[in-house]
Structure 1
């Protein structure tokens, strides 16, 4: 596997109310993301014992698919709205080397 392109993003929200509002924003955004053909995985996690933190794992078929995701109106809206709920954002971009995926998501 060599063509996958991924990132993790760690968001820390201001407080419990901001976390709830951020989650609602993400839920609305996911409606559009689910229709993106090149977005293979887009999952939000809450780390144990860190209720104000959200960790996103995003896997795209390639960098072009990530760029197409970033160009979508629903993504642009989320990027513009999210800062009001956050105290920090940490992003790590990842180049896929090897691994296991469901057969329908195998990189070529």
Structure 2
């Protein structure tokens, strides 16, 4: 199905988490319009943990992820995010099996 990752971000405070959300939304504008190889890119809040955000990202392939990383809107996000964060952790994912939204994935 592609190349994926999960990133867990911990902001300095709930206020910093909300500012981080606004920064992420700016990046998402470019991701939605300029990245056909980015299949899923979602910012999640974690119930009962107001300073935590979890991104789930799925790309058509590794090359689509690398293209994503080169985009100006992503570079701006990467440059600015540190001011809001206490920490973050990236986990790269390798598909074993699953079901996707495209018809060719229905049989997997």
What secondary structure is seen at the aligned counterpart in 2 of 1:44? strand
Please give the alpha-carbon distance, in whole angstroms, between the structure 1 residues aligned to 2:53 and 2:103.
Answer: 27
TM-score by length of 1: 0.91
What is the RMSD computed on CA atoms of the aligned residues? Answer: 1.3
Please give the alpha-carbon distance, in whole angstroms, between the structure 2 residues aligned to 1:104 and 1:11.
Answer: 33
> Structure 2: any 5+ residue segments left out of the alignment?
none
Q: Which of 1 and 2 has higher RCO (CA within 8 Å, sep 6+)?
A: 1
TM-score by length of 2: 0.91
| Equivalent residue in structure 1 for 2:13, among 15, 18, 22 | 15
Please give the alpha-carbon distance, in whole angstroms, between the structure 2 residues aligned to 1:46 and 1:73.
Answer: 25
> Structure 1: any 5+ residue segments left out of the alignment?
none
Cα distance per residue 1:33-69 (max 9 Å; x no partner): 1121100000111112111100000000000000000
- Residues 105/50 of structure 1: CA separation in 2 closer, same or farther (3 Å cut): farther
Please give the alpha-carbon distance, in whole angstroms, between the structure 1 residues aligned to 2:57 and 2:67.
Answer: 13
Instruction: State how many pairs are aligned.
Output: 104
